[in-house]
Amino acid sequence: GQNIDQPTEMTATEGAIVQINCTYQTSGFNGLFWYQQHAGEAPTFLSYNVLDGLEEKGRFSSFLSRSKGYSYLLLKELQMKDSASYLCAVRDRTGANNLFFGTGTRLTVIP
Amino acid sequence: DSGVTQTPKHLITATGQRVTLRCSPRSGDLSVYWYQQSLDQGLQFLIQYYNGEERAKGNILERFSAQQFPDLHSELNLSSLELGDSALYFCASSVEGQGITSTDTQYFGPGTRLTVL
């Protein structure tokens, strides 16, 4: 089976940096995805990691450590529009290579 | 805009009724996935189709069924609806959906909000 854990809520200040952690347990790890979801809207793809290390994409970066079953999403220069839920999802070979989502971290950016 | 379309955007119906949700994948994508998201819940995978055939099943109730047509659009049928079926239903698509290409990414449609009264 798959077990994915993220903090439920976080608050950060506009202009600051925030790190959202995700830990996972899965038997057939085949990649980790981060999605952003504004309330009532579709999840939108942010980043993907399959090898250990940091992937940088503008203000967003994602890190993966496969040996620790750990990833984080780093958001820099926070903007008010970054207030959203951030979903960590793991692809599992033993689960037909489908994505298994955590419950998401609701980030609130305050002025 | 992800390129995935879903209709209708909103659906209000009564308990015991049956509804059909429709999804058109991005051009070139062969796999379609259906997810359910209840209030304050995570995305729950329901079912996946690849090139017209069912490929994987998740937590899909027996009252629910889906199919993918030759033009690759998909429909999710929900029957004998209960109050607890009220949720956002998302469709996603990806190029191949078999994990052959590790970067195969799912792109989500705007969702259908189902309210069962």
- How confident is the model over A55-77, as pLDDT tens digits? 998 999 999 999 999 999 999 99
Q: How far apart are CA B2 and CA A92, in angstroms?
A: 24
d(CA A96, nearest CA chain B) in Å: 6
Query: Which is more confident, B76 or B99?
Result: B76
Q: How far apart are CA B71 and CA B74, in angstroms?
A: 9
Q: How far apart are CA A30 and CA B85, in angstroms?
A: 31
Contact A93 B99 (CB under 8 A): yes
pLDDT digits (tens, 9 = 90+) for B13-72: 999 999 999 999 999 999 999 999 998 678 999 999 999 999 989 889 999 999 999 999
Token pair of B86, please?
A: 């009220």
pLDDT surpasses 70 at A111? yes
* Three-state secondary-structure class, residue B30: coil
- Chain B residue with minimum CA distance to A31: B102
Residues 77-116 of B with CB under 8 A from A: 88, 90, 97-99, 102-103, 105-111, 113
Contact B102 A50 (CB under 8 A): yes
Is the four-CA dihedral A69, A74, A13, A44 of positive or negative sign? negative
- Chain A residue with minimum CA distance to B33: A98
Q: Measured in whole angstroms, how far is the alpha carbon of residue A67 from the centre of its chain? A: 17
Task: Residue A95: list chain B partners with CB under 8 A.
Answer: 56
